[in-house]
Amino acid sequence: MKTDNIPDSKDAAAKNASADKPAADTVNKIAAQAAKTAEADAKKKKPTRKKRMKKDITDPNTPMARLLLIPSLAGVLLFYIVPSFIVAFYSIVDNPISKQFVGIQNFKNLFGSLAFTTAGKNTMLLSFTAVPAAVILSLMLANVLNSKIPGKSMLRTFFLSPMMVPVASVVLIWQVMFHHTGSVNAMLTWLQKSHIGTLIHCIDDTVTTMFGGAPHPLTDWGSIDWLKSDKSMIVIVLLFLWKNLGYNMILFLSALNNIPKDLIEVADLEGASPMWRMVHIKFRYLSPTFMFVTIMSLINSFKLFREVYLLTGDYPHENLFMLQHFMNNTFRTLDYQKLSSAALVMAAVMVLIIGVLFTIESIFGRDVEE
């Protein structure tokens, strides 16, 4: 009787198998899904032909990337490196035909040339006068436009407008303004008859002291031939400032807007003066912009030859005879030795000036939080 209550072993095994079947199906489904996911991940990781080509181009260590560098390297080699060696070679030989080594004799002849020394003096005077003035004035304008004043957009447009004027138009405007019967002399003639004449005389004495030349009496202010007198450098400095102030101002405006406002606010709350904030906070953050603006202004001062040449021609007044005039006139006579020596001297001076600027920037360019 008791044995009838015990279930059959086969029935128990069948019940256990039917109970384990759903669990086994679930495991199989999970394993199949995992296999599909792994296969999909493998397909994603496997780079396609397009991706392999992109990697070959962007990776500098692949043969394809090195192959694509050949045209650029060939251009640099053909138009920069090889001509530089040729110029250096011509500077130490007597002429391009016999090619006899003369050492530094060509440099001695160059520095003994009155034309070169005059051109170098005028170019250095222009650069060391116009470049600092352009940097300082553009920073002052940027500070003014960075403050809350009305009409800032109109002022930005006004200062940037010279960049859109063609060189020929600029020269024509300057010729009309600074001709001996032009608008500047007409205005000065009217001013000298007024009570401002004494002030003009003081300005004349100051400018004459800075740029040299004999002082003009007050009655001569309305009859100066600005482009053919000892005050001709003033015209070129004003032209340089007029063309470059707007561009430099925009660069400084961008840099001023990137200075953390919380530092300025904390300094203001601590009672720091505007001059202290400018020197100890803004100058530190503006040092890279100072560097860039100074180098670009220096380069632009050497590029001012176009305007001066169109204004005055091949042989301008002595005060306007620049290094570019010297190089241009020397090239016409095919004096390769003097031309090559002058080119190397100019390159050395530029490298020296830029090196000094980098040294100054590394000293004053430390983070303000240090």
pLDDT tens for residues 21-59? 555 566 566 666 766 666 666 555 555 555 555 555 566
Kindly state whether residue 187 falls inside one of the protein's structural domains.
no
Residues 331 and 351 in one domain: yes
Q: What is the DSSP letter of 270?
A: T
Both tokens of 362, joined, read 């590394």
Residues 265 and 117 in one domain: yes
pLDDT band at 135 (very low <50, low <70, confident <90, very high): very high
Residues 269 and 352 in one domain: yes
Residue 277 pLDDT exceeds 60: yes
Q: Which residue do the tokens 């070169």 mark?
A: 116
Separate counts of helices (H) and strands (E) for the chain? 18, 0
How many folded domains does the chain comprise? Answer: 3
Residue 114 pLDDT exceeds 80: yes
Mean pLDDT of the chain: 77
Residue 318 pLDDT exceeds 80: yes
The range of the structural domain enclosing residue 354 comes to: 108-179+225-364
State the number of CA atoms in the 13 A half-sphere of 142 facing the CB: 25
Question: Torsions phi, psi of 339, nearest 5?
Answer: -65, -45
Ranking 22-26, 107-111, 137-141, 296-300 by mean pLDDT, the lowest is 22-26
More confident residue, 299 or 24: 299
The full length of the chain comes to 370
**pLDDT at residue 368, as a whole number:** 44
Report which secondary-structure segment, H or E, holds 158. Answer: helix 152-160
Residues 25 and 143 in one domain: no
Residue 217 pLDDT exceeds 60: no
Residues 172 and 253 in one domain: yes
Residue 182 pLDDT exceeds 80: no
Q: 324 has which bridge partners?
A: none
Q: What is the DSSP letter of 7?
A: P
What is the SS3 assignment for 8? Answer: coil
Ranking 20-29, 229-238, 301-310, 344-353 by mean pLDDT, the lowest is 20-29
Both tokens of 96, joined, read 């391009």
More confident residue, 46 or 210: 210
Kindly state whether residue 86 falls inside one of the protein's structural domains.
yes
More confident residue, 2 or 126: 126
Q: Report the interhelical angle of 336-364 vs 82-90 (nearest 10°).
A: 120
Average pLDDT over residues 191-205: 66
Residues 312 and 257 in one domain: yes
Residue 241 pLDDT exceeds 50: yes
Kindly state whether residue 241 falls inside one of the protein's structural domains.
yes
Kindly state whether residue 195 falls inside one of the protein's structural domains.
no
Residues 312 and 344 in one domain: yes
Give the whole-angstrom CA distance, residue 323 versus residue 355.
21
Residue 115 pLDDT exceeds 80: yes
| Cα→Cα distances 326→122, 302, 309, Å | 11, 13, 12
For residue 248, give the nearest of 367, 365, 133 by alpha carbon. 133
**pLDDT at residue 3, as a whole number:** 47
Average pLDDT over residues 274-296: 82
Residues 232 and 358 in one domain: yes
Give the whole-angstrom CA distance, residue 336 versus residue 90.
7
Are the C-beta atoms of 256 and 142 separated by less than 8 Å?
yes
More confident residue, 276 or 127: 127
Are the C-beta atoms of 243 and 129 separated by less than 8 Å?
no
Residues 24 and 79 in one domain: no
